[in-house]
């Protein structure tokens, strides 16, 4: 929802804008903390939470396991990037 580059849907304009704004903040934080922290914008997947609903793709356990595995494999070179829960890159 926060990606402008891979956007195809037309729903949730304000939600999408709020997530795109967070991505902009992430980029600023990554620059400000360069060399001190690795800062990533993550998409957790479409997850079966209260918000995601029962029809979502992923269980919470699967999303979190993927995020933990991806975070464990990060190096400082990844700072300022937008990644899926499985570590694949997402267009800004």
Ligand X SMILES: NC(=O)c1ccc[n+]([C@@H]2O[C@H](COP(=O)([O-])OP(=O)(O)OC[C@H]3O[C@@H](n4cnc5c(N)ncnc54)[C@H](OP(=O)(O)O)[C@@H]3O)[C@@H](O)[C@H]2O)c1
DSSP 87: S
Query: Are 49 and 43 contacting, i.e. CB atoms less than 8 angstroms apart?
Result: no
Least distance to ligand X, CB of residue 35, Å: 28
Distance (Å, rounded) from C-alpha 86 to C-alpha 31?
24
Residues 19 to 58 in contact with ligand X, rule: CB under 6 A: 43-44, 46-47, 49-52, 56
Please list, in sequence order, all residues whose beta carbon lies within 8 angstroms of the beta carbon of residue 6, skipping any fewer than 6 positions away.
90, 91
Comparing CB distances to ligand X, the nearer of 2 and 79 is: 2
**Closest distance of CB 40 from ligand X, Å:** 14
Residues near ligand X (CB under 6 A) are 43-44, 46-47, 49-52, 56
């Amino acid at each position: 929802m926060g990606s402008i580059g891979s956007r195809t849907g037309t729903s949730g304009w304000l939600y999408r804008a709020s997530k795109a704004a967070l991505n902009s903040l992430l980029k600023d934080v990554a620059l400000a903390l360069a060399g001190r922290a690795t800062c990533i914008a993550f998409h957790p997947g479409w997850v079966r939470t209260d918000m995601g609903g029962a029809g979502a793709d992923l269980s919470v356990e699967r999303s979190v396991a993927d995020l933990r595995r991806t975070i464990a494999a990060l190096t400082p070179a990844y700072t300022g990037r937008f990644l899926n829960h499985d570590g694949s890159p997402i267009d800004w």
